[in-house]
Structure 1
Amino acid sequence: MRKHPIRTALSIITAVTVASGAVALGSAAPASAYFGEAEISPIESDISEKPWAGVDVSSGASTADLAIDQDDGTAWMADGTSADQWLTLDLGGAYDNVRKVEVVFPDAGAVYQYVVESSTDGGSWEVIADHSANHQPGRGSVDLFTQPGTRFVRVAFTGASPGATLGISELSVYNYLRDDLILGADASWVDNDVAEGRNYWVSPNEEDPGAGPHLLDVLQDRGLEYIRLRVFNEPRSESSGDVLPVPYQGPERTLEVAEWIKAERDMGLGIDFHYADSWADPAKQPKPRAWAELEFDDLTQAVYDYTYDNVGQLIEQGTTPDKVAIGNEIINGFMYGSEAALIGTTDPPYFRDQPEIYQSQPGGGLLWEYWGSEDPEEQRLYEEAWDRFTTLSAAGVQAVRDVSADHGEDIDVEAHIATGRGDKALEFWDQYLTRLNAKGADPDVLAHSYYPEWHGSPDHIEGTLNAVAAAHPDYKIDIAETSYPASGGGGAPMPNSTYPRTVQGQADALQHVFRIANDIPNNQGAGVLAWEPARWQSMFTAVPGMTQTWEPNASIDVFNKSHATHVVEDTVYTGAQVGGEVALPDSVEGMTMADGSNEPLLVEWDPVPDGATDTAGRVTVHGSTEYGSVTAVIDVVDTNAALDCDRVITGRHTGPLTVTEGVTCLDGATVSGPVSVRAGASLQADGAVIGGPVRADGAAVAVICDSRISGPVTLSGTSSVTIGNPVLGCGPNTINGPVTVNRTHGWNVIAGNTISGPLSCSENAEPPVNNASTNTVSGPKSLQCRDL
């Protein structure tokens, strides 16, 4: 879309910088007791940037998208000058933890009056902030609010200073990490860690080393709340297929490790059944040896019995899992059998070398190479493979449902895939859920692995997850595995990533994944698990001189520093004229996330630099509060926004003047005779001398500045009225006669004037204001003008 330039009086930018804390607290300070350094700020995400966000407007639809294009040099422009305009941002779904709205307007030096509202359904609205009484120039505002389930945010204009462009340059709505988004890890190797005598400490080089030496103690201390355990049926060597001497990650060992997690530490517990004796992933899904030669119906029963029995044992020992995954990374199916010859898989070696055993009976492998085939035989094979796969899956799902019900528990069921192709993911879930539902089974969570080197950029996986969420809104979405290295490759980013392989890059990459899950509309994102953070692309570093001892990288704090404790009104927009004074507020609003309460926060501002208003431009001044930094954005203008004149009269005009259309400007003119303004037309008088009454009926805008009028002034049904307004450079007037202002729809200022006669105002949408410039009136001030 062609960008629509906006009018601006800015010609220079001046910046004053002061170091201060994060805007949304937690702390952004580097961790010092760990290996390396990482600055980690709480997650704050602008949902208006997302491709699923959209806008609706009262007018000017051709420029509407410019209000959310992340460029405040462009803007949505409403049609006409009527203040009855609005823009609604649709976030694409409900959000429970959006807390901040920022709106930026097109014109520097203008005054905007408006109301910011939120809604869960687009029908009923709650006021976030009412700026309808604003009379100070400033290009925008930041407002804080709490409304779980917010989907829509609307900015509705109630008025604007004369000449202001009605529109919005940017509307941003910020989302923060939800408390119910689970952050944890698959730490299945903790069983090996304990057996091998590996020690983990938060600060092993300190006098008080903190949590440790058990890995789970360190993870819990650093903010991880959930641990997933993979389960092999009968753990075997991936190369030889021989039974391992110690059955790590087998069912019996899983029972013990589950007690470490649940009984001893009260952490969340996930169980990830591989339904294999060794690694199961998209490249290999071998059947367990004990099931390899079973006929298909018996295999289905074995899946049910095994799942029921193992989950039952976990429940009975008091370690009920919170979630159970039926298979691991099952994008290509699982428990491969005779169909492997068509799939073409050759791993693991024992599966390849013993086809008479492992490939003797049908299994649950999928035949993606026949997806979309027009060959009837290939399509038949494709459909049959899906039927077998979902029959086995349904057996696992039903086993969890049955054992949960039999013990009075409520355990979530997860299906978990890994793919870099969005179309394949959508086809998988469409086929899987349709067929599973037809068999009377249904999971709760649709989980995905995400490793950039295999699955694409963060933007790509975000697009895939949101397409899946939109297609299947009744399910939660998990990122069941992710990781990012802190070293290697000379620090160069991993493929499909922009983050360096450093401790800081590791923190930033992981936090980006947290943000992706948290930003899925309708709060469908359920959680993110780092995969084996002490072993794979590790978040730990061996401590020199200390045998079998590891300390966390500073990036480990991404789990506990990604939550905001407070949100601050972090930007203040104001204006000043060239040569004028800059006034900054003593306080801004701060919100406590835990209860949604707001309180004023005192601001300690840096000094405004000398000469800040000597020339037109933008000045930024930084300040700090108890809970974060603040920036004042000061637009310095030569003149404030004014009407664009269609007709300009200077010098002397003899006889009556009737304005029938457009904008007529009296620039130092002398008019002998009455002035009348017809419906829809506008008048701007600056330094004029008018010998006769001034009357406007249904006019669009009437602006009278620094003028002398001999005769009454009667303005009725006008959309916008200004009779003097020194705060915006509209000088006071001298009026010899009564002044009557009735039925004004929007902007209404009568300030600083000397009026020889009564001043009467009635039936205006809002009472006129004087912006602290009292009018001197020789007659009575009545009705809505009595306080002017």
Structure 2
Amino acid sequence: MTALIPPTLLLALTAGLISCASSPDVQARATAPLSAQASPARDKDFAWIRGVDVSEARDAELHGVQFRDTDGKVRPALKIVKDHKFGWVRVRLMVDPDGRYGLAQDLPYVKAMLLDAKKQNLHVLLDLHYSHWWADPGGQWTPPRWQGQDARALETSVYDYTRDVITQLRAQDTPPDMVQVGNEINGGMLWEVGRIRNDDMTTFAKLTNAGVRAVRDASGGPATTPPVMIHIAKIGDAAATVAWYRAFQQAGGQFDTIGISYYPMWHGSFAELDETIRALNAAFAKPVYVAETALYWAPNEKGYTNVPYPQTPQGQLDYLRALSPVVQHAGGHGIFYWGAFWSQSAKWLSAPGWTDDDASRRALFDDDAKATPAIDGLN
């Protein structure tokens, strides 16, 4: 999610397009053709997803934030999610985060979150960042444990890491229902090795395919293998978005579903969103999801002037009520709201150098940690 990156990196949003190798048998599996792997499950009903990113919720609660429902009563974060008819949650997973800048989501944290999600009977989209830091079009940071590896070693690292994650989640009976390999990977991932250069996606696609393969290998067969999403953030340009996925396919990149970010202050109008979803459907015949969206319930701290709805609780609600039919009528399959629980961050956010808390203005909870009316905006 780009808005959390310091201002100098935010400027790179529109310019985004521009461990050691293990044993030989594991290396062979990590680089084998995907045609030899299990096919992803196709029989789950993902007809329309109402989702919310809850990645900060557990961290906030552990630091004393008491989330309140619209009636003012304190309830567990994921209980509020379930009670307001969300069927899905999205949870990011970082590689060795240090806990600062909102990045507490290491594997133990995510395992605990998925246990909470299971208690509420919520489906999970697991968002693999493959980074210790915010991964988005402006930066795809290789985690320290993998720095210095060449492309082949990185493939093995991605494969081994992903397979271990899925294996551990299955072992506690919380397998994810969909898996995102990379986050807003317009310009590739695991820079510099996996950066897209001169429109050449070959190395990048090998890295994502290692993650896809690991998900399939670790999931116990086709019937229990979750669909894999490839997620980018384009700037209101249907032709360029389709061209990106075509080039990715031509480079050998594998994916089952398409995820796009849509923030109206960055990514164009509803009409452009409609055009993009329709074009993706026509070109690929794969489910398309708005994997991230959000809008303000209070005036933003970034100075954006092209916010299309009033920056009020009612404006935030009206935005989501208008967004859902746009995505549905275009043939999209669902929406995930980003940063819903980014509230009372003074209690849990350690972010030296950040001078604002713009994300809190877009949460689904106000400064008293009370749910805004927009928590029902996707119903």
Which range, TM-score by smaller chain?
0.7 to 0.9
1:307 Cα deviation from its structure 2 partner: 0.6
Structure-1 separation of matches of 2:157 and 2:322: 40
Contact 1:445-1:477 at 8 Å conserved across structures: yes
Contact 1:458/1:512, CA 8 A, preserved across alignment = no
Are the counterparts in 1 of residues 131 and 143 from structure 2 also a CA contact under 8 Å?
A: yes
| Greater share of residues in helix | 2
d(CA) in 2 for partners of 1:444, 1:179: 12
Show structure 1 runs of 5+ residues with no match.
1-177, 338-362, 371-381, 544-549, 561-788
**Matching residue of 1:326:** 181
Q: Which has the higher strand share?
A: 1
Partner of 1:181: 48
**Paired position in structure 2 for 1:719:** none
Using the alignment, how far apart are the partners of 1:483 and 1:281 within structure 2?
16
1:463 is matched with 275
In the other structure, the counterpart of 1:517 is: 327
Alignment counterpart, residue 401 of structure 1, candidates 195, 210, 216? 216
Whether 1:506 and 2:313 are equivalent positions in the alignment is no
Q: Secondary structure at the match of 1:436?
A: coil
Q: Which residue of 1 aligns with 2:374?
A: 555
Counterpart residue number, 1:419: 234
Q: Distance in 2 between matches of 1:237 and 1:213?
A: 25
Larger Rg belongs to: 1
What is the alpha-carbon distance in structure 2 between the residues aligned to residue 487 and residue 315 of structure 1? 40
Tell me the amino acid that sits aligned with residue 308 of structure 2: T
Which whole-Å CA distance do the structure 2 matches of 1:392 and 1:416 have between them? Answer: 14
Q: How far off is 1:455 after superposition?
A: 0.8
**SS of equivalent to 1:334:** coil
1:236 aligns with 2:102: no
Matched, 1:539 2:355: no
1:300–1:392 contact (8 Å) kept in structure 2:
yes
SS in 2 for 1:397: helix
Q: Supply the distance in 2 between the matched residues of 1:285 and 1:317 (Cα, whole angstroms).
A: 30
Cα deviation for residue 410 of structure 1 reads 2.6
Residue 507 (structure 1) shift: 1.2
Residue 255 in structure 1 maps to residue 85 in structure 2 = no
- From 421, 425, 430, the counterpart of 2:246: 430
Match of 1:529 in 2: 336
Following the alignment from structure 1 to structure 2, what is the Cα–Cα distance between the partners of residues 277 and 498? Answer: 33
Q: What is the Cα deviation at residue 220 of structure 1?
A: 1.2
Aligned pairs for 1:28-43 within 5 A: none
Q: CA deviation at 1:407?
A: 8.9
Give yes or no for the alignment of 1:196 onto 2:63. yes
| Greater RCO, 1 or 2 (C-alpha within 8 Å, sep 6+) | 2
Could you tell me how far apart the structure 2 residues matched to 1:401 and 1:219 are? 29
Question: Given residue 555 of structure 1, which amino acid in structure 2 is its aligned partner?
Answer: A
Q: Could you tell me how far 1:191 is from its partner in structure 2? A: 2.0
CA–CA separation in structure 2 for the residues paired with 1:539 and 1:517 = 20
Q: Is the 8 A contact 1:452 1:494 kept in 2?
A: no
Following superposition, which runs of at least 4 residues in structure 1 exceed 6 angstroms of deviation?
none
Q: Give the unaligned 5+ runs of structure 2.
A: 1-44, 343-358
Aligned partners of 2:247 and 2:170: how far apart in 1?
32
Contact 1:484 1:506 (8 Å CA) reproduced:
yes
Contact 2:229 2:257 in 1 (8 A): yes
Task: Give the SS at the match of 1:286.
Answer: coil
Deviation per residue, 1:741-783 (Å, 9 max, x gap): xxxxxxxxxxxxxxxxxxxxxxxxxxxxxxxxxxxxxxxxxxx
Q: Work out whether residues 452 and 495 of structure 1, in 8 Å CA contact, stay in contact via their aligned partners in 2.
A: no
Distance 2:314 2:150 in 1: 52
* Residue matched to 1:217: 79
Within a 5 Å distance, the mapping from 1:353-392 to structure 2 comes to 363-367=193-197, 370=198, 382-383=199-200, 386-392=201-207
* Contact 1:486–1:505 (Cα < 8 Å) also in 2: yes
Identify the residue that residue 780 of structure 1 maps to in structure 2.
none
Change over 3 Å in CA distance of 1:265–1:463 after alignment to 2: same
CA distance in structure 2 between the partners assigned to 1:193 and 1:238 by the alignment:
13
**2:311 pairs with 1:486:** no
Kindly indicate whether the alpha-carbon contact (under 8 Å) linking 1:494 and 1:500 is maintained by their aligned counterparts in 2.
Answer: no
1:287 CA drift (Å): 0.7
Mapped to 2, the partners of 1:433 and 1:497 lie a distance apart of: 34
TM-score scaled to structure 2, two decimals?
0.78
Within a 5 Å distance, the mapping from 1:723-734 to structure 2 comes to none
**Is the CA contact 1:323–1:413 (under 8 Å) kept in the aligned structure 2?**
yes
Counterpart Cα distance in 2 of 1:216 and 1:364: 35
Any conservation in 2 of the 1:457–1:497 contact (CA below 8 Å)? no
Q: What is the DSSP-based 3-state SS (H/G/I as helix, E as strand, rest coil) of the residue aligned with 1:278?
A: coil
Calculate the aligned-residue CA RMSD, in Å. 2.3
- Secondary structure of the residue that 1:551 maps to in structure 2? coil
Contact preservation (8 Å) 2:215, 2:225: no
Provide the rounded CA distance (Å) in 2 between the counterparts of 1:426 and 1:254: 32
**Aligned with 1:293 (options 148, 173, 187):** 148
Contact 1:191–1:249 under 8 Å retained in 2: no
C-alpha spacing 1:509/1:269, structure 2 compared with 1 (3 Å): same
Structure 1 contact 238–279 (Cα < 8 Å) conserved: no
Matched residue type, 1:460: E
Question: Structure 1: which amino acid aligns with 2:227?
Answer: D
Shift of the 489–323 alpha-carbon distance from structure 1 to 2, 3 Å rule, reads closer
- 2:196 counterpart letter in structure 1: L
TM-aligned CA deviation for residue 406 of structure 1 = 4.8
SS of residue paired to 2:288: strand
Q: Is the 8 A contact 1:233 1:277 kept in 2?
A: yes
> 8 Å contact 2:178–2:226 — kept in the other structure?
yes
Going from structure 1 to structure 2, the CA distance change for 1:468 and 1:407 (only over 3 Å counts) comes to closer
1:335–1:364 CA contact under 8 A, matched in 2: yes
Q: 1:181 to 1:392 in 2, by over 3 A?
A: same
Q: In structure 1, how many angstroms separate the alpha carbons of the residues matched to 2:77 and 2:145?
A: 33
| 1:272 aligned partner, one-letter code | D
Percent identity reads: 28
Partner SS for 1:427: helix
Post-superposition CA distance 1:415-464 (Å, at most 9, x none)? 00001033331221001123225xxxx31111000111111111112212
Query: Equivalents in 1 of 2:212, 2:305: separation in Å?
Result: 36
Separation in 2, partners of 1:534, 1:512 = 22
Deviation at 1:236, TM superposition (A): 3.4
TM-score by length of structure 1 reads 0.38
CA displacement, residues 221-250 of structure 1 (integer Å, 9 cap, x when unaligned): 1111111111111103779xxxx9xx7201
